[in-house]
Chain A
Amino acid sequence: MTEAAATQGTEHPAYLAHQFADEAQQFEAASLGMWVFLVTEVAFFGALFACYTIYRHLYFAGFEAGSRLLDWRFGATNTAVLIGSSFTMAMAVRAGQLGRRKGIIGWLTVTMILAVLFLFFKFNFEWAHDYHERLIPGFGFSHPGVHSPAVQLFFCFYFFMTGLHAMHIIVGLGIMAVLLWMAMRGKFDSGHFTAIENTGLYWHFVDIVWIFLFPLLYLVGGRY
């Protein structure tokens, strides 16, 4: 809550939207907005996690068999890549706080490269491999063996959850591209870097989802 009286189109920065009384209010509103949005994302992924958990409990043997067919090394590598990208994203936010235009551009670029690397490993190696092994439900799935229905169920969830997650990465890449463009135009300074900070929040959330997905999907069963 601010105590400033209203201003009516007087001297204020161009980026202060007219509905806000001052920059502090705008910043707080944007942050709260992003947090509320992340809560909806938790509910979104949470429903999927709940379904997965229930089925994993019901069909543990089949889910274990399915998990074994995944290459945990790619999963682990991608986890490292994504955690790294969270770090670089945090550095980008820091650069924003300090008003360092070059820093913002640099760190954002590295973050985007890491995100693309993640997607590359996922799509080019993991999913392509899965397709050839006929493990994608609805696209020629075939897994002979006792646990076939449960394995198919496992892969339904695997592709849906990692696919939804990948979609969030792609959207994040788009947002970062816009931020990059804005940074190059000099639109950020140490008093105004809200978009970078909120994108950072979003990106960390995407990272956390993956940190849950990886052990849940790749590390089922006690072989480690």
Chain B
Amino acid sequence: MSAAVAEAPPATRVDYLNADYGVKSWLLTKDHKRIALLYLGSITVMFFVGGALAVLMRLHLIDPAGGLVQPDTYNKLFTMHGTIMIFFFLIPSIPAVLGNFLVPMMVGAKDLAFPRINLLSWYIFIAGATLALYALVAGGVDTGWTFYTPYSSTYSNTHVITMAVGIFIAGFSSILTGLNFIVTIHKMRAPGLTWFRLPLFLWAIYATSLIMILGTPVVAITLLLVGLEKWLHVGIFDPALGGDPLLFQHLFWFYSHPAVYIMVLPGMGVVSEVIACFSRKRIFGYSFVAFSSMSIAVIGFLVWGHHMFVAGQSIYAGLIFSLLSFLVAIPSAIKVFNWTATLYQGSISYDAPMLYALGFIGLFTMGGLTGLFLASLATDVHLSGTYFVVAHFHYIMVGGAVMAYMGGIHYWWPKISGRMYPDMWARLAAAIIFIGFNLTFFPQFMLGYLGMPRRYATYPAEFQVLNVMSSAGATILGVGYLIPLIYLIWSMRYGPIAPANPWRAKGLEWTTPSPPPTQNFDVTPVVTEEAYAYGPPRPAAEGAHD
């Protein structure tokens, strides 16, 4: 692999951060790296808004009679928490921040295929997020992030239309991002970079992008129809006016189930990169991991009915969706096994990114296995609509996706910022997050099995002990997230200068200086070896990849 890197001392070297100054140079940038940072700032804000709402919820739930707010307000808290976290944090997070930053570099290109569309996608995101925040301060929405009709379309008198339009707009940001990635990965790979030499992060991003472009338009139309129904008082999903509320659910979940794979697949990509680097080994079963990403994307479109087992769907539909839901678990299991096998005989270091990645594997395993309880028809009857579901998806989304996001941010932080973060604080925060997370959400599995429904502002007293445990965990988790916010910002100014490749990692992005110049590569690299070529030098082997 050619690597033309001339590392001038930081004071004189021009990189993408100091290439140009001023607000205009950021707001009108076409550089994918700057756009990634624009996204980073925006979604971090949304994360902490959503997080604050969660803290309020957990504080309120310490008291079975509802200690903090009125039921109406609580209903708005969980709705806004869900919509903001899902549509304005999780869905963009890894793709829009790490994907935007890394995809061109990992394929050896100077930028994405369509840089201006990339910038446009950020502005669209901001427009959507502004509407969402406006809905929040104007009084909130209280339909749940699932917007079930006819409650949302006919009965609720909160800012449903504003929120629906906000999500609709943000959906286009998602679509454009996915479109950009697909074209870039297909058409702009450096010479020698065949599909099966791609880093697994790109396979994951590619699979995610397919879901983004196929699924998002459906939810966009669905929310538009709900908005129309509310605005014009017509009956598209309202049975009183001839509509069908189940049709709404089918349309909604047709996107929203694949959406959870949009949220977790990129995290899996990050985990592959980190595990390989910090055990200094090629990922075990590369092609299996690559194909598993694609299988998850495909099968993920066929399982939406498992959200509707008790909704009024036919039993036979339920039988089919249940079987497919079990099958979609298999590719994820394959990944977990392959990551674990990668560690075998590796040279493992305990840097913060690795701690996050390992935490992902453990918590994702638990989250995924608890998904089997819900895919299983007989147990789902008892567990759906309860805290078991809440615990399950938080294990995947927070224990999985957010931890992977944190791991990725830490792993590529030197490349992005040119600085190192303080190592001990990072590891400490990772540990606090892991502990706080489990304390918060494990009791919720138990609450669900006991029968406590979700979205309850008040609850029977016998559930209090577990709720208090969960709320205690949430405070610890909150502290855990604040620590990286502080030291990462601190490091941008005061952190030690990072070398080009502090982790001695493989991957085209590490052949550039930290931070990289605007054009990434002075000379287009030519790729001659497999991804993760950490092993002993091979005798010029052709096609010996696994």
Contacts and interface: CB of A to CB of B under 8 A. Distances in A.
Indicate whether A and B are direct neighbours in the complex (CB within 8 Å).
yes
Which of A18, A44, A153, A156 has the most chain B CB atoms closer than 10 A to its own CB? A156
Interface in A1-53: 1-3, 5-6, 8, 17-21, 25, 28-29, 32-33, 36-37, 39-41, 43-44, 46-48, 50-51
Contacts of B225: 51, 160
Nearest to A48: B221
Nearest to A51: B247
A138 B233 CA distance: 6
A156 B224 CA distance: 12
Contacts of B234: 137-138, 141, 152-153, 156
Q: How large is the interface on A (under 10, 10 to 19, 20 to 34, 35 or more residues)?
A: 35 or more
B175 interface: yes
A149 B242 contact: yes
B186 interface: yes
Contact of A6 (B180, B187, B524): B524
B196 to A, nearest CB: 14
Interface string A149-167: 1101100100010000000
Contact of B175 (A18, A40, A48): A40
Interface residues of B, number: 48
Contacts of B519: 8, 18
Contacts of B241: 149, 152-153
Given A43-B217, A44-B221, A138 B231 contact: yes
Contact of B232 (A37, A39, A138, A153): A138
B327 interface: no
Majority-rule SS of B interface residues? helix
B367 interface: no
Contact of B242 (A1, A41, A153): A153
Interface stretch (B55-63, B111-119, B304-312, B530-538): B111-119
A36 B179 contact: yes
Contacts of A171: none
Which of A20, A36, A141 has the most chain B CB atoms closer than 10 A to its own CB? A36
A46 B180 CA distance: 22
B435 interface: no
A59 interface: yes
Contacts of A141: 234
B217 A41 contact: yes
Contact of A54 (B115, B247, B523): B247
B221 A25 contact: no
A36 B183 contact: yes
Contact of A152 (B186, B235, B247, B522): B235
Contacts of B213: 36, 39-40, 43
A135 B213 CA distance: 35
B251 interface: yes
5 contacts: A19-B188, A20-B113, A21-B188, A29-B113, A138-B228
Interface of A: 1-3, 5-6, 8, 17-21, 25, 28-29, 32-33, 36-37, 39-41, 43-44, 46-48, 50-51, 54-55, 58-59, 137-139, 141, 149-150, 152-153, 156, 160
- Which 5 residue pairs are nearest across A and B when measured between Cβ atoms? A138-B232, A6-B524, A149-B242, A44-B217, A19-B111
